[in-house]
């Protein structure tokens, strides 16, 4: 039996989401601060916007962001799980998958987790809360068909037998308990705002963009920097 399992990480995806907006906000910020110095009609700023959408390898950038997202979540778990009297589990980024079309699915992040950590989650979280989480996430309704039972008693008894969807539900319940005990916020608020902002707030977005940018994009940003320096020097 494998010592590790694959678990889905709760994630809203990039399509028209707050995560995608992080990158758009970078462009807006750069445009605004440079327009104050170079003028709104600066041709370089128009080139920056065009190159932002065409001159960055967005598949690689999203993959790098997903890795940072998991690493930020892992850091948060180490700091907060003990305060909720829950075990600290280890998550290691595995992959980001993106659909060809976003009609019915969105981007998904998967991580590796040890069988022991999956077992520790199952044994430590409140069973009633897990049952409620399963019912909430796996009850069929209009427009949604669940392929899993919404009854905890019909799920495998051992975490090692969970697939990645069931493990994501288990992880969701585990994270919800920590959020309730340590942050006094619900899980969706934590994931969509606090965790996301921590992922982007350490300069990671800058690094992700420039690490996956074309030569043309780098040349344009360098030209903008030089124009700013020249404009500042002319005012001395």
**Does pLDDT of 203 surpass 80?**
no
The reply to whether 134 falls in a domain is yes
The reply to whether 148 falls in a domain is yes
Of 122, 126, 118, 169, residue with least CA distance to 147: 169
Query: Which has more pLDDT, 194 or 166?
Result: 166
**Cα(139)–Cα(23) distance, rounded to whole angstroms?**
35
The reply to whether 234 falls in a domain is no
**Cα(55)–Cα(110) distance, rounded to whole angstroms?**
27
Structural domain total, the chain: 1
Predicted TM-score (pTM) of the model is 0.88
Interval 78-119: pLDDT, tens: 999 998 899 999 999 999 999 988 888 899 999 999 999 999
Query: Which has more pLDDT, 102 or 168?
Result: 168
**Does pLDDT of 186 surpass 80?**
no
Which residue stretches of the chain are H helix? 18-38, 43-54, 58-80, 115-124, 127-137, 164-178, 187-189, 196-200, 204-211, 215-234
What is the C-alpha end-to-end distance of the chain, expressed in Å? 70
3 state SS of 79 = helix
The reply to whether 122 falls in a domain is yes
Of 62, 48, 89, residue with least CA distance to 178: 89
The reply to whether 223 falls in a domain is no
Interval 19-74: pLDDT, tens: 888 888 888 888 888 887 777 667 888 888 889 989 999 999 999 999 989 998 99
**Residue range(s) defining the domain that contains residue 167:** 4-215
């Amino acid at each position: 039996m494998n010592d590790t399992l694959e678990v889905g990480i709760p994630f809203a995806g990039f399509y028209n989401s707050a995560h995608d907006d992080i990158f758009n906000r970078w462009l807006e910020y750069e445009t605004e601060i440079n327009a104050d110095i170079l003028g709104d009609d600066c041709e370089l700023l128009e080139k920056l916007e065009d190159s932002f959408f065409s001159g960055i390898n967005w598949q690689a950038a999203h993959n790098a962001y997903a890795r940072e997202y998991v690493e930020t979540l892992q850091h948060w778990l180490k700091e907060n799980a003990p305060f909720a009297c829950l075990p600290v589990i280890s998550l290691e980024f595995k992959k980001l998958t993106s659909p060809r079309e976003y009609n019915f699915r969105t981007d998904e992040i998967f991580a590796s987790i040890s069988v022991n950590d999956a077992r520790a989650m199952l044994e430590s979280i409140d069973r009633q809360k897990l049952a409620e989480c399963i019912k909430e996430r796996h009850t069929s309704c209009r427009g949604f068909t669940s392929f899993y039972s919404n009854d905890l008693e019909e799920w495998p008894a051992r975490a090692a037998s969970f697939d990645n969807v069931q493990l994501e539900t288990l992880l969701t319940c585990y994270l919800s308990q920590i959020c309730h005990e340590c942050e006094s916020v619900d899980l969706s608020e934590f994931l969509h705002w606090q965790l996301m902002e921590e992922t982007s707030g350490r300069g990671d977005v800058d690094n992700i963009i420039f690490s996956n940018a074309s030569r043309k994009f780098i040349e344009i940003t360098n030209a903008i920097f030089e124009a700013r320096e020249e404009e500042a020097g002319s005012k001395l």
